[in-house]
Amino acid sequence: MKLIFGLGNPEKAYDNTPHNLGFAVVDNLCSLFGGSFKKKKNALVAKIAEKDVILIKPLTYMNLSGDAVRYFVKKIKVPLENILVILDDIDIPAGTIRLKHQGSAGTHNGLRDIVQKLNTQNFSRLRVGVGKPENKDLADFVLSKMTGTLKKETDQGIALATEKAKQFIEENIKE
């Protein structure tokens, strides 16, 4: 069994913002595998039985993502190597992705909360780049609607991340 967490903020106002790229990737996976989300505890959950995977969108807001991740990791009892967290990242260029199987949270508060709540850095994370804005507050940037070039680039990143997450599910990739 694998758990795939897509990070984001639960309200409609945050759709199409950089901070919700994790949700977008998990939505793509759910559509690709023919699943549907149901509300369970503090998340939207889609079980894809034929792939032995559970897709999870925490409803705890980004900076408190660790609460939902910890709940499902403890409830379902999967090895840490079977967990993938998908999130946005300002520290890599828009439209690019980076898969790492352990490491620090970097500048991402949602990932930092997960590391703290799980008390480990030993799980996979798939970062979808949004780039760092010039002359703009970071919080405003990640919570603002995407348009123009940024939207085009992040759509490319979402597609790349969807494919990489699919490989993680089906092929148990290690990079």
Residue 149 tokens, joined = 């070039």
Q: Which percentage of the chain shows pLDDT scores above 70? A: 97
Query: Can you give the pLDDT at residue 128?
Result: 97
pLDDT digits 0-9 by tens, 154-170: 999 999 999 999 999 99
Contact 29, 4 (CB under 8 A): yes
Confidence label for 173 from pLDDT (cuts 50, 70 and 90): low
As its CATH architecture, domain 2-171 has 3-Layer(aba) Sandwich (3.40)
The three state secondary structure string of the chain is CEEEEECCCCCHHHCCCHHHHHHHHHHHHHHHCCCCCEEECCEEEEEEHHHCEEEEEECCCHHHHHHHHHHHHHHHCCCHHHEEEEEEECCCCCCCEEEECCCCCCCCHHHHHHHHHHCCCCCEEEEEECCCCCCCCHHHHHCCCCCHHHHHHHHHHHHHHHHHHHHHHHHCCCC
Known catalytic residues? 19
Whether 126 has a pLDDT exceeding 90, the answer reads: yes
Q: Domains of the chain: which residue ranges?
A: 2-171
